[in-house]
Amino acid sequence: MAGILDTVDQRTQLVGENRLEILMFRLAGRQLFAINVFKVQEVLQLPKLTLMPQRHPFVCGVVNLRGQTLPVIDLSQAIGMRPLVPGPNSTIIVTEYNRSVQAFLVGGVDRIVNMNWEAILPPPTSAGRQHYLTAISKVDDQLVEIIDVEKVLAEIVPYNAKVSRDKLEDPVLERARGREVLLVDDSNVALSQLRDTLGQLGVKMHIASDGLKALNMLKAWADTGVNMTDKLLMIFTDAEMPEMDGYRLTTEIRNDPRLRGLYVVLHTSLSGSFNDSMVKKVGCDNFLSKFQPDKLVDVVRQRLMLDEVPA
C-alpha cells in the first residue's frame, strides 16, 4: 500500500472547502467501512504480533514499528462483528487519535476517495453496529459506513473528564459560571466528555451535532438582534462532521459580520502540526486535542482573560 496516502501539504488543500478524503476498507464481510485519511499514518502488512497477558478482548496484541510499540485492535470485533484472525498476510491501518498511535486490524483496504462533506450523512438510529458509526455515505452505489473510532477507543481506555482541584480553585474561572457555550460534534463520546468537563465550571451548554446545524443555530440567534459575543463565551467545534465540517463552519462564522467576533476552538482527535497550520488558515482562535480536561479548562481561562484586555 505504499503511496496510498497523500502528503500533508496536499491534504491541507481540502480544508475550508468542506471536503475530505476517506480510506475505505472491509472487515469480516463485504460491507465497506471508512475513516478519515487525516488520521491515517500508514497502511501495511501486519508485522510480527506479540501477545500480551490480560489484554483487552479487542486487542490482538502489540507490534513493534520502527522502535514504537503499538497495540493492534481488532476493529471488526470492536464494533460487534465476528473477530478477524490475524495472520502473516493481514493488513493493519496505523492511525493517530488524540495524541495516541494505534493499529487497527482490518480485512483488507479498498481505496481512498475524495468527497464533499455534504455527501456524508448521519447514520440511521437503530441497534447493532450503527451504535459505532458517526456517518454513512455512498460510493459507486455502495453503502459506506464511517466508524466512530473515538467510541471504540473510549471503550478500550475510558476517558477521564475530571478537572484537577487546583484548576477549579482558580478565581478567574468563577466568571465562566452561567455563561453560554456552543458544543459542535457528531460523536456522543466527545460530547459527553465536553459536557462532563465544562459542567464542573457551571456553564450553560448548547449542542449541535454537525457544523450546518450549528451555523443555522448561530444565524437564528443573530437574526433576533442579539449581540453574539455577549451571548456566547465560546464555541468548541470538532473538525470532522457530516454535512459541514468544523473548518468550513469557522470560515462561515468569519464571513458573517454578526458572528465573526465569536471565539472558536477547534476541538478534535486530529493532532500534530497539520492542525496548527489549519487553525491559522481558517481563523480559529485556539486548537485542542480531545480528552484533556485540564487543558480544556485552560482554554476557557484564556478566553476569560481576554475580557480583561483593553480594546
Is there a single domain that holds both residue 151 and residue 197? no
Q: Between these two residues, 184 and 133, which has the higher pLDDT value?
A: 184
The count of domains in the chain is 2
Lowest model confidence (mean pLDDT) among 22-26, 104-108, 121-125: 121-125
| End-of-domain residue from the set 99, 122, 156 | 156
pTM: predicted TM-score of the whole model, two decimal places:
0.82
Verify that 16 and 150 share a domain, yes or no: yes
Confidence of residue 7 (pLDDT cuts 50, 70, 90): very low
pLDDT score at 134: 87
Q: Do 9 and 143 sit in the same domain of this protein?
A: yes
User: Which CATH number goes with the domain that contains 234?
Assistant: 3.40.50.2300
- Together in a domain, 119 and 12: yes
Has residue 16 got a pLDDT over 80?
Answer: no
C-alpha 29/C-alpha 81 separation (Å) is: 9
Could you say which of 134, 156, 178 is where a domain stops? 156
Phi and psi dihedrals of 121, rounded to 5?
A: -115, 155
pLDDT band at 52 (very low <50, low <70, confident <90, very high): confident
Among 113, 133, 156, give the residue marking a domain's end: 156
Residue listed under C-alpha cell 491534504 = 11
- The helix-helix angle for 246-255 and 273-282 (nearest 10°) equals 20
Query: Is pLDDT larger for residue 3 or for residue 253?
Result: 253
Shared domain for 13 and 151, answered yes or no, is yes
Residue 310: CB atoms within 10 Å? 3
Q: 286-295: per-residue pLDDT in tens?
A: 988 888 999 9
Given a cut of 70, whether residue 228 has pLDDT beyond it is yes
pLDDT at 243 over 50: yes
Is residue 182 domain-shared with residue 228, that is, in the same domain?
A: yes
Residue with grid cell 455515505, as numbered in its chain:
137
**Cα within 13 Å of Cα(200), Cβ side:** 20
133 and 276, same domain (yes or no): no
Residue 128 structural domain: 5-156
Residue 5's pLDDT band (boundaries 50, 70, 90)? low
Does pLDDT of 182 surpass 60? yes
Give the model's confidence band at 240: pLDDT under 50 very low, under 70 low, under 90 confident, else very high.
Answer: confident
| Residue 151 predicted with pLDDT over 60 | yes
From CA 70, how far away is CA 278, in angstroms rounded? Answer: 28
Report the pLDDT averaged over residues 50-66: 91
Angle at the Cα of 236 from the Cα atoms of 124 and 272, rounded to 5 degrees: 95
Specify the pLDDT at position 221: 98
Q: Say if residue 102 is in the same domain as residue 236.
A: no
- Same-domain pairing of 191 and 99: no
**Rounded mean pLDDT of 154-166?**
89
pLDDT band (50, 70, 90) for residue 1 = very low
Do 191 and 129 lie in one domain? The reply is no
Calculate the average pLDDT of the chain. Answer: 88
Do 16 and 53 share a domain, yes or no? yes
Give the residue-averaged pLDDT of 101-113.
Answer: 94
SS3 letters across the chain: CCCCCCCHHHHHHHCCCCEEEEEEEECCCCCEEEEEHHHEEEEEECCCCECCCCCCCCEEEEEEECCEEEEEEEHHHHCCCCCCCCCCCCEEEEEEECCEEEEEEECEEEEEEEEEHHHCECCCCCCHHHHHEEEEEEECCEEEEEECHHHHHHHHCCCCCCCCHHHHCCHHHHHHCCCEEEEECCCHHHHHHHHHHHHHHCCEEEEECCHHHHHHHHHHHHHCCCCHHHHEEEEEECCCCCCCCHHHHHHHHHHCCCCCCCCEEEEECCCCHHHHHHHHHHCCCEEEECCCHHHHHHHHHHHHHHCCCCC
| Torsion angle, alpha carbons of 166, 169, 172, 175, to 10 | 140
What is the CATH classification number for the domain harbouring 105? Answer: 2.40.50.180
Whole-number pLDDT of residue 128: 58
> Residues 192, 231: one domain?
yes
11: phi then psi, degrees, rounded to nearest 5? -70, -30
What's phi and psi for 62, nearest 5 deg? -130, 155
Distance CA 218, CA 253 (A): 9
| Predicted pLDDT at 2 | 43
Burial 110-145 (b: 16+ CB within 10 A, else e): bebbebebebbebbeeeeebeebbbbbbebeeeebb
